[in-house]
């Protein structure tokens, strides 16, 4: 008998349970603990999650979908600029799924190579997710280099904000505001400082 594939909501529920196990084992959860938390057989677990680290992917992807949805809402309400809409949407998106262990999990995501790889791949998918919305808001073709650059910038703003929240223990509003200020000051456009020997 062929089983019905798991839907996004079911995968997210499993992913949250696995993420908590990864937190409990400080990033080194054994397969048996993850499989037990998932409620799946080991064979089915690895069909949905090719590696143990992939078990956090639905959790990360849900955050990306939340950011995309909130951004779309903000853009539909005449924001001052597309950049301002991104900056306003991010803290709301970060407020989504929060647990007592989310901060520690994200510390692990940024430091455990296998988890970091999954996060970086999820961030790349975020760019593709944001592209149609940002292209439409900017009056650009989704195939244009400018639209792709806008989506890259929005994803980088999100990624940089997460790093500040984790490494500097800033709250989501503070982290996004500081990253946004850095983006606005365009440090790469400054002249290099002359070095003195």
The per-residue pLDDT for 119 is 97
Distance (Å) of CA 56 to CA 31, 99, 109, 137: 14, 14, 9, 31
Whether residue 73 sits in one domain with residue 47: no
Mark the ranges of the chain whose per-residue pLDDT is less than 70. 1-2, 78-79, 97, 186-197
The per-residue pLDDT for 1 is 46
End-to-end CA distance of the chain: 75
CATH number of the domain where residue 23 is located: 1.10.10
Whether residue 174 sits in one domain with residue 105: yes
> Is residue 13 in a domain?
yes
Is 0.95 surpassed by the pTM of this model? Answer: no
- Structural domain for 19, as ranges: 8-55
Whether residue 19 sits in one domain with residue 37: yes
Whether residue 90 sits in one domain with residue 14: no
Whether residue 64 sits in one domain with residue 51: no
CATH number of the domain where residue 95 is located: 1.10.357.10
The per-residue pLDDT for 13 is 96
């Amino acid at each position: 008998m062929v089983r019905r594939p798991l839907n996004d909501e079911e995968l997210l529920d499993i992913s949250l349970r696995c993420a908590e196990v990864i937190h409990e084992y400080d990033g080194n959860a054994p397969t048996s603990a993850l499989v037990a938390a998932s409620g799946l057989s080991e064979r089915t677990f690895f069909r949905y999650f090719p590696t143990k680290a992939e078990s956090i992917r639905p959790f990360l992807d849900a955050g990306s979908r939340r950011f995309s949805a909130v951004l779309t809402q903000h853009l539909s309400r005449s924001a001052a600029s597309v950049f301002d809409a991104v900056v306003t949407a991010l803290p709301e998106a970060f407020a989504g799924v929060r647990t007592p262990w989310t901060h520690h999990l994200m510390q692990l995501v940024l430091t455990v190579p296998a988890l970091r790889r999954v996060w970086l791949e999820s961030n790349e998918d975020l760019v593709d997710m944001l592209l149609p919305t940002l292209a439409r808001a900017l009056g650009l073709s989704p195939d244009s280099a400018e639209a792709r650059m806008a989506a890259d910038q929005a994803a980088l703003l999100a990624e940089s904000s997460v790093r500040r929240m984790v490494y500097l223990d800033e709250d989501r509003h503070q982290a996004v505001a500081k990253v946004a200020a850095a983006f606005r000051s365009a440090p790469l456009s400054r002249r290099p400082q002359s070095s003195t020997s």
